[in-house]
Structure 1
Amino acid sequence: MSAPDPARSSAAEPARPRRFLIVVPPLVGHINPTVGVAAALVARGHQVAWAGNPELIASLAGPDAKVLDCAVPGAPVVRPAGLRGPGALKFLWETFLIPLAQAMVPGVAAAVEAFAPDVMLVDQQAVAGAVVAMRCGVPWATSATTTAELGNPLAAMPKVDAWVRELLLELEVRNGLGTTAASPRYQRTYGDLRFSPHLVLAYSTAALSGEVEALRETLRYVGPSIAERPTDPEFPWHRLPDERPLVFVSVGTANSDAGASFLQACAEAIADRPHLFGVVADPAAAVPPADNVLTVPHVPQLDLLQRADAAICHAGQNTVCEALYHGVPLVLAPIRDDQPVVAQQVTASGAGVRIRFAHARPAQIGTALDHVLTEPTFAAAARRIGESFRVAGGAAAAADHLESLALA
């Protein structure tokens, strides 16, 4: 089955109410984009349920979200701070992704039996959903919360690529599926559970992430799915000056173990530039404040990016896309996983500057920050990509494609 025709949207052909089951890992950055999609589907009269961690999903999607409990490994996986490259990838798959999938399969299967979905939306890092969808014959779409894998970055490392595919095929076989390696449909979409043969929703656009010929029939860029988030009444908005350029700094919730020294270096670079004002997301309280640097454990990121003039981050897909959505140029210091690929996409688009995370010192960070703030081409490129995001349609466009898949 090919991807739905974008012309077959709900605006042209009202869809009867359908049931959509969203399968997500216990990761904030992977749940957030689907919150907007779920809201768009519910607004159109559809029923939506989630399979995943109830507490985390409820905290992001709201207390009214219908969550079908799905077992996940108890203790969070903490990777050694210095782990990079193939070692980090091996750790991720062997220690987190495959055990997570195996643990989630029974819960996802029970959710499918209880909810009887017409379509499943499955996060790329919750491949248990893909296994169960295939086993039960339910049409499913991939929720690609990172675009790094769309272009198959492991193609340059064929042994690593083959090893990841083998892990996924073994997962299929353990859970009652024959291997899909011989299927032309799966060969076309890289032959693994990360890519639905029906529909791949990517929360970006070609303006940032490029065209992907191998996924031409199934890939639909919808731009960031940004839903309204609760405001933080504790955030000290009164501390932000109106007259100075604002710089937002974050390394994301999953990198606090590796990011303390980097955050401190960023704070020092901003402190050395009294004409700037910085807000540093510092959940570990590792960074001392300065006269022109505000450090807080949590930030209302979307609200803050609306006021920011630049952002320094780890090249996490969500932070990058939310910054560019608001036309904010970036200084990028990728740490591991998909982040180097995302950073390359941003620098190739002209919307940011990349620095080396492990060797970033206040001087290098400050020089890069000065560059993106004073050279107007960076902000212009960020605004161009942000406009492409808005045109792509976001959560509403994703809902259109999911409705079309339900009608197919």
Structure 2
Amino acid sequence: MSRFLFVVPPLVGHINPAVGVAAELASRGHEPAWACADPGLVRRLAGDGATVFPCAGPVPGSGDGVRPPDLRGPEALKFLWERFLAPLAEEMAPGVAAAVGEFGPDVVVADQQALAGGLVAERLGLPWATSATTSAEFTDVLSGMPKVAEWLDELLAGLRNRVGDRTGSADPRFSPHLVLAFSTPEFVGPEARTGEQIRYVGPSVADRPAPPGFPWDWLDPARATVLVTLGTANSDVGARFLTECRAAVRERADRTQTVIVDPAGVLDRAGEGEGRGDDKGVLIVPSVPQLPLLQRVDAVVCHAGHNTVCEALWHGVPLVVAPIRDDQPVVAGQVVEAGAGIRVRFGRVTAPKLGAAVDAVLHEPGYRFAAGRIRTAFRAAGGAPAAATHLEQLAIGTPAKETA
């Protein structure tokens, strides 16, 4: 039996993929544990029985970590690193070190945005793996922005000097031992980053707690179903987009039905009621059991969040993507290049353009064919079981092997 310490940021989309891997390791007799700045979030996603070591650190949406909703591009990237990722690394580092001392892991599994995991593991001489829950870092997205790349290198060097091994050389985003990429080259594209330690395992899709009370009987199996969601971290900017989406799908209510996820209640539900559909073929709910719902969905409209995109493509569902910030433009580009969806402009798209995009992915067969191709590649990559096998090999000192 080996022990694995998962170091994760307080972000649902980064914890969920690791949950499936941790569960797979536990089923094989290993012992997983967690280090996070929000232990309650980990237990909600991984189960009440999860062993979680608390760390200090900012939680998104609170204090200085509240990002201006209109921030985009390089300025948004700078805000993310200076106001969240770098402070998170520095504040988590003591808690990660304490967790290592108490738990005694054989391997540290560090999320790509929980930099303290890799930095502390390197300083303490422990083998560590990177959990890469977005494919954006596997393309050279900063090649056209050399000054931004230089600034980021300096920021990472400063973090190493403060909380890591000053004599070390590893990029804390990419373990020299093992990088688990929860995607595939077929989706990332022909320029996908490769290396002896990089293993493309595909999405980690596993059962997870679902919100109760979803009105399954509202869905008509004879009609096409569309899911509209902006994930868990974009409710501050979603009002206009969701309003345009509702207008677009209402015009198609004679042939489609649409579930809109509205966690912040930004849509006027007058005459509808929360969790009830209106006479325009629209159901507005604060949350959905996304994985089982995707089994019954024909198209997804989303913000190009990596988890939502991968879970949709895991089910062979084509997409309309409207990236907002961070890695989302890169992921949206991968969807389009793969032929599995259409990109629209989040801040400017209108109901007619959204409606035309939804019609296209629903009725033009090329999009569904491409989504099916990615689905096949994702499932062949192995997912959580493949990731667990690579981690087992790292724990016993065996180099990770390519999987068929």
TM bin, normalised by shorter chain, reads over 0.9
- What is the 5 A alignment of 1:297-308? 297-308=286-297
Q: Post-superposition, which runs of at least 4 consecutive aligned residues in structure 1 deviate over 3 A?
A: 211-215
Structure 1 residue 212: Cα displacement: 5.3
Q: Determine helix, strand or coil for the equivalent of 2:316.
A: coil
Q: Deviations over 1:139-198 (max 9, x none)?
A: 011000001011231121011011111111101101252154xx5xx4xxxxx2111111
Report the Cα distance in structure 2 between the residues aligned to 1:138 and 1:213, rounded to whole angstroms. 28
**Normalised TM-score (structure 1):** 0.92
Does 1:320 find its partner at 2:309? Answer: yes
Structure 1 residue 218: Cα displacement: 1.5
Q: 2:108, 2:128 within 8 Å by CA — same for their partners in 1?
A: yes
Instruction: Structure 2 unaligned segments of length 5 or more: list them.
Output: 273-277, 398-404
Distance change in 2, residues 1:213/1:284 (3 Å)? closer
Q: 2:303, 2:322 within 8 Å by CA — same for their partners in 1?
A: yes
Instruction: Select the residue among 48, 53, 57 that pairs with 1:72.
Output: 57
Instruction: Please tell me the residue identity of whatever aligns with 1:331.
Output: V
Report the Cα distance in structure 2 between the residues aligned to 1:242 and 1:328, rounded to whole angstroms. 16
Instruction: Please tell me the residue identity of whatever aligns with 2:385.
Output: A
Q: Determine helix, strand or coil for the equivalent of 1:141.
A: strand
Instruction: Please tell me the residue identity of whatever aligns with 1:268.
Output: A
Q: 2:187, 2:374 within 8 Å by CA — same for their partners in 1?
A: yes
Does 1:354 find its partner at 2:343? Answer: yes
Report the Cα distance in structure 2 between the residues aligned to 1:299 and 1:96, rounded to whole angstroms. 28
Distance change in 2, residues 1:211/1:178 (3 Å)? farther
Partner of 1:39: 23
Partner of 1:86: 74
Partner of 1:231: 210
Does 1:285 find its partner at 2:265? Answer: yes
- What is the 5 A alignment of 1:1-400? 17-52=1-36, 53-73=38-58, 75=62, 77-178=65-166, 180=168, 183=169, 186=170, 192-211=171-190, 214-274=193-253, 275-288=255-268, 290-291=278-279, 292-400=281-389
Q: Determine helix, strand or coil for the equivalent of 1:256.
A: coil
Q: Determine helix, strand or coil for the equivalent of 2:142.
A: helix
Q: Deviations over 1:275-303 (max 9, x none)?
A: 11000010111123542110000111111
Q: 2:122, 2:164 within 8 Å by CA — same for their partners in 1?
A: no
Paired residue total: 383
Q: Which segment drifts farther, 41-50 or 74-83?
A: 74-83
Does 1:403 find its partner at 2:392? Answer: yes
Q: Deviations over 1:255-283 (max 9, x none)?
A: 11111110111111000111110000101
Structure 1 residue 215: Cα displacement: 3.2
**Normalised TM-score (structure 2):** 0.92
Distance change in 2, residues 1:176/1:233 (3 Å)? closer
Instruction: Please tell me the residue identity of whatever aligns with 1:32.
Output: N
Q: Determine helix, strand or coil for the equivalent of 1:173.
A: helix
Q: 2:263, 2:287 within 8 Å by CA — same for their partners in 1?
A: yes
Structure 1 residue 100: Cα displacement: 0.8
Q: Deviations over 1:227-260 (max 9, x none)?
A: 1122333111111112110000011111111111
Partner of 1:5: none
Q: Which has the higher contact order (CA 8 A, sep 6+)?
A: 1
Report the Cα distance in structure 1 between the residues aligned to 2:89 and 2:166, rounded to whole angstroms. 17
Q: 2:120, 2:164 within 8 Å by CA — same for their partners in 1?
A: no
Q: Deviations over 1:60-87 (max 9, x none)?
A: 0001111111122263622111110001
Identical aligned residues as a percent: 59
Partner of 2:401: none
Q: Which segment drifts farther, 171-180 or 62-71?
A: 171-180
Instruction: Please tell me the residue identity of whatever aligns with 2:46.
Output: A
Partner of 2:275: none
Q: 1:309, 1:373 within 8 Å by CA — same for their partners in 2?
A: yes
Report the Cα distance in structure 2 between the residues aligned to 1:390 and 1:177, rounded to whole angstroms. 38
Instruction: Please tell me the residue identity of whatever aligns with 1:252.
Output: G
Q: Deviations over 1:353-393 (max 9, x none)?
A: 00111111101100111111110110111111111111111
Distance change in 2, residues 1:247/1:97 (3 Å)? same
Instruction: Please tell me the residue identity of whatever aligns with 1:382.
Output: A
Instruction: Please tell me the residue identity of whatever aligns with 1:248.
Output: L
Q: Deviations over 1:1-49 (max 9, x none)?
A: xxxxxxxxxxxxxxxx111000000000000000000001011111111
Partner of 2:400: none
RMSD: 1.3
Instruction: Please tell me the residue identity of whatever aligns with 2:369.
Output: A
Instruction: Please tell me the residue identity of whatever aligns with 2:139.
Output: G
Instruction: Please tell me the residue identity of whatever aligns with 1:208.
Output: F
Q: Determine helix, strand or coil for the equivalent of 1:266.
A: helix
Q: 1:169, 1:179 within 8 Å by CA — same for their partners in 2?
A: no
